Structure 1
Amino acid sequence: MAIVVRLDVMLALRKMKARDLAEQIGITEQNVSLLRQGKVKGVRFETLDRICEVLECKPGDILDREE
């Protein structure tokens, strides 16, 4: 079982670039890239909340669990 990050899907649906998201939520583009690739071990709720606010979505739209 694994947690899967679907940030790419939400960015595509919103027609937004990772660079723009990074600027709006106040983190580096590199950190957004690592998050998109699922190469992070965790994410702060504050950061997740800002992502959801900018993308107008819920955490479940970004994170999923696969068996």
Structure 2
Amino acid sequence: MADKDKEPVTLARRFLSFCFAVFGGILLLHFSLQLLSQFWGWLVLLAAVGAAGYAAFRITQSRRDRW
């Protein structure tokens, strides 16, 4: 019954809401890239330290397990 009470959504209204959604997505992407650009150096450094630690762990583990 509630569906019959609503007036149908026009094509122009759907197009406008789509444009607002695309615009909002572009703004969110822009702001997230701005935020990421401030921290990407630290993130790369953290990933490199983690990878070096993992490699050192695997190397020492493989040297100990020889028989």
The structure that is strand-richer by fraction is: 1
Structure scoring higher RCO (CA < 8 A, sep ≥ 6) equals 1
Question: Which structure has the bigger radius of gyration?
Answer: 2
The structure that is helix-richer by fraction is: 2
- How would you bin the TM-score normalised by the shorter chain? under 0.3
